[in-house]
Amino acid sequence: MAVTCRLQCLLTETTTGQQREGSYPDANFNLAHLKSFIQKLEAAKFDAFFMADHLAVLNMPTEALKRSHTTTSFEPFTLLSALSQVTERIGLAATASTTYDEPYHIARRFASLDHLSNGRAAWNIVTTGNPESSKNFGQEEHMQHNDRYKRAREFYDVVTGLWDSFADDAFVRDQESGTYLDPDKMHVLNHSGDELKVRGPLNIARPVQGWPVIVQAGQSEPGRQLAAETAEMVFCSPKDLKSAKELYADIKGRAAAAGRNRDHIRILPAGMIIIGDSAEDAQAKRLKLDSLVHYDSAISSLSIALGTDASGFDPDAPLPIDLPPTNASHTARASVLRLAEEEQLTVRQLAQRPASPNFPISSKVKNQT
Ligand SMILES: Cc1cc2nc3c(=O)[nH]c(=O)nc-3n(C[C@H](O)[C@H](O)[C@H](O)COP(=O)(O)O)c2cc1C
């Protein structure tokens, strides 16, 4: 079983940090804390540490923004490079966007991280859920959902092609002859496609792993297809066993149809673990955490997940059924809608769930000792 820790668990600590005794209000931005945290994860044999990225301060009203840890966050490659030097075995996964970056940059950064960490880098391919990101990259509008995935698929081919720029033994570094590189072992990509044009070669040796591990996290229709064609690990947040099984079978089936070995993909469902002396104790802790979330923060998280402003909705009524279409994450909206319907929640109850709506909501952990 693969187990990955997302920085999210630290962020939950930050969200409620002002109120919860013993928590770190700057948990996501405190290098000493992050170092000790990743070292604990490594000692506990976690497979990987994951750093998400959203390329913008989240799109929320000032009243919510002023309570949000997302207003300051380390850039993933810089942080993971630092953490690679205080760990030895744990995987280092970073989000990098195919919508707002260039394949040459991404290929190079992951190759660097893979060399610095001696083969521990992983790339979470995202098309970027936050539509506000476009404003930071010279574009008025977020690229359309299908177009983002079309570019992502080609982007993957270019990045992996660039990683193959040099054979593993291309760098002979022969001091006697003064030869550094065997040019016969250098490959120039010369990619010219619908979305991207990249000559290559990459100016860094082939990554230690060959290709760093590929992760994918979008569960919309084109997201699943991208995962099936490219991913080795799939992050997901199914709400129950039935939908987890459906997603599992769907992605593995698509992978087989694309000519891949279905066993080469690991599906990692997200979980938020609350530990207590009994199920009741854990449940009470969860309720306490939920209650610490300010309504301004809650309603803005709900708006982000829905991809539409929920602040005008009646807090004590069910979610309106006629929401406008969204160009943000389809997965996040679908899971909120499902939750609202299944548990018949009001807008206030739905918004008050403090974990990312991408994550399963109820958590019970029974102490076995
Ligand atoms: C564990 C996990 C991590 C994620 N990390 C990111 C991230 O760092 N950046 C991001 O824009 N989206 C992130 N997402 C959201 C998905 O990538 C999101 O679904 C996607 O951006 C939109 O694609 P979709 O419409 O196919 O769902 C994450 C999702 C999950 C389940």
Closest approach atom of ligand 1 to CA 52: 8
- How many CA within 13 A on the CB side of residue 98? 29
Closest approach atom of ligand 1 to CA 145: 25
Judgement on whether residues 183 and 326 belong to the same structural domain of the protein: no
pLDDT at position 4 is 67
Instruction: Evaluate whether residue 358 is within a structural domain.
Output: no
CA of 128 to the centre of ligand 1 (A): 7
Give the residue, 292 or 9, on which the prediction is more confident.
292
Judgement on whether residues 180 and 323 belong to the same structural domain of the protein: no
Instruction: Evaluate whether residue 363 is within a structural domain.
Output: no
The proportion of the chain whose per-residue pLDDT surpasses 70, expressed as a percent, equals 90
The answer, yes or no, to whether any atom of ligand 1 lies below 6 A from the CB of 81, is no
Kindly indicate the confidence band of residue 65, based on its pLDDT and cuts at 50, 70 and 90: confident
* Nearby residues of 260 by Cβ (< 8 Å), 6 or more positions away: 228, 229
pLDDT at position 1 is 59
* CATH code at position 237: 3.20.20.30
Closest approach atom of ligand 1 to CA 133: 11
Judgement on whether residues 61 and 196 belong to the same structural domain of the protein: yes
Judgement on whether residues 20 and 114 belong to the same structural domain of the protein: yes
pLDDT at position 357 is 40
pLDDT at position 179 is 97
Judgement on whether residues 127 and 207 belong to the same structural domain of the protein: yes
User: Would you give the distance in Å from CA 331 to the centre of its chain?
Assistant: 13
pLDDT at position 202 is 98
DSSP 186-230: B----EE-SS-EE----SSPPPTTSSPEEEE---SHHHHHHHHHH
CA of 184 to the centre of ligand 1 (A): 40
- In angstroms, rounded to a whole number, what is the distance separating the alpha carbons of residues 83 and 51? 11
pLDDT tens across 201-232, in order? 999 999 999 999 999 998 899 999 999 999 99
Tokens describing residue 165: 């720029």
The answer, yes or no, to whether any atom of ligand 1 lies below 6 A from the CB of 220, is yes
Indicate whether 91 pLDDT > 90: yes
Judgement on whether residues 255 and 298 belong to the same structural domain of the protein: no
Specify the number of domains making up the chain. 2
The helix/strand/coil state of 91 is: strand
pLDDT at position 364 is 35
Instruction: Evaluate whether residue 330 is within a structural domain.
Output: yes
On whether the CB atoms of residues 64 and 293 are closer than 8 A, the answer is no
Instruction: Evaluate whether residue 27 is within a structural domain.
Output: yes
Lowest mean pLDDT among 146-155, 170-179, 254-263, 357-366: 357-366
The answer, yes or no, to whether any atom of ligand 1 lies below 6 A from the CB of 216, is no
Indicate whether 108 pLDDT > 90: yes
Candidate from 124, 130, 301 with most ligand 1 atoms within 8 A of CB, to mutate: 124
Q: In which region does residue 245 sit, left (phi positive, over 0), alpha (psi from -120 to 50) or beta (all else)?
A: alpha
Judgement on whether residues 307 and 237 belong to the same structural domain of the protein: no
Judgement on whether residues 256 and 326 belong to the same structural domain of the protein: no
pLDDT tens across 300-337, in order? 888 888 988 898 899 999 998 788 888 877 878 888 88
CA of 37 to the centre of ligand 1 (A): 23
The answer, yes or no, to whether any atom of ligand 1 lies below 6 A from the CB of 128, is yes
CA of 367 to the centre of ligand 1 (A): 32
Last residue in a domain, options 223, 246, 269? 269
Q: Most confidently modeled of 61-65, 219-223, 340-344?
A: 219-223
Mean confidence (pLDDT) of the chain = 88
Judgement on whether residues 346 and 312 belong to the same structural domain of the protein: yes
Q: At what angle do helices 103-116 and 76-84 cross, to 10 degrees?
A: 20
pLDDT tens across 29-46, in order? 999 999 999 999 999 999
> What is the span of the domain harbouring residue 301?
279-351
Instruction: Evaluate whether residue 66 is within a structural domain.
Output: yes
Judgement on whether residues 76 and 30 belong to the same structural domain of the protein: yes
Instruction: Evaluate whether residue 333 is within a structural domain.
Output: yes
Instruction: Evaluate whether residue 362 is within a structural domain.
Output: no
Judgement on whether residues 26 and 46 belong to the same structural domain of the protein: yes
Q: What is the mean pLDDT of residues 54-83?
A: 89
Instruction: Evaluate whether residue 155 is within a structural domain.
Output: yes
pLDDT at position 10 is 44
- In angstroms, rounded to a whole number, what is the distance separating the alpha carbons of residues 354 and 360? 11
Residue located nearest, by CA, to atom 1 of ligand 1: 235
On whether the CB atoms of residues 112 and 63 are closer than 8 A, the answer is no
Dihedral sign from CA coordinates of 54, 227, 340, 273: negative
Q: What is the mean pLDDT of residues 258-277?
A: 92
Q: How far, CA to CA in Å, does 367 sit from each of 202, 272, 293, 343? A: 51, 16, 26, 27
Judgement on whether residues 251 and 313 belong to the same structural domain of the protein: no
